[in-house]
Amino acid sequence: MEVVNIPGSKVSEGQVINEYVGSAPPNGTDLHRYVFLLYRQPKKFTFDEPYHGDTDAQRGTFLAEAFAKKIQFGEACCWKFFPLPI
């Protein structure tokens, strides 16, 4: 899930960019790693990126690092990942 423009700590009042799509690696593939990143947002902004979609092929085209650099988020302040074997 991508949420931006969160007022203070009120996550439920932020702007949802993409809904959460659970893990579903394709059969016959190796270990997959899922990463969650949290950035401090320096100021409110207008989200004008194209929607990347919910399929594996579409989701794989979103580059979090490039997006964070464009919006000037700086370094991620928190992160979490989990491996999911097939």
pLDDT tens string 19-71: 887 777 778 888 888 888 898 888 888 888 776 666 766 766 778 888 888 88
56 assigned to some structural domain = yes
d(C-alpha 73, C-alpha 86), whole Å: 34
Higher pLDDT, 18 or 78: 78
Evaluated on CA atoms 4, 7, 12, 15, the torsion sign reads negative
Range of the domain at 72: 23-84
Q: Based on the structure, what is the number of domains in the chain?
A: 1
How many whole angstroms separate alpha carbon 78 and alpha carbon 37? 6
The tokens for 77 are 């302040």
15 in any annotated domain: no
Of 37, 47, 44, which Cα lies nearest the Cα of 77? Answer: 37
Tokens (6 digits) for 73? 């988020």
- The answer to whether residue 29 sits within a structural domain is yes
At which residue do the structure tokens 């370094």 appear?
75
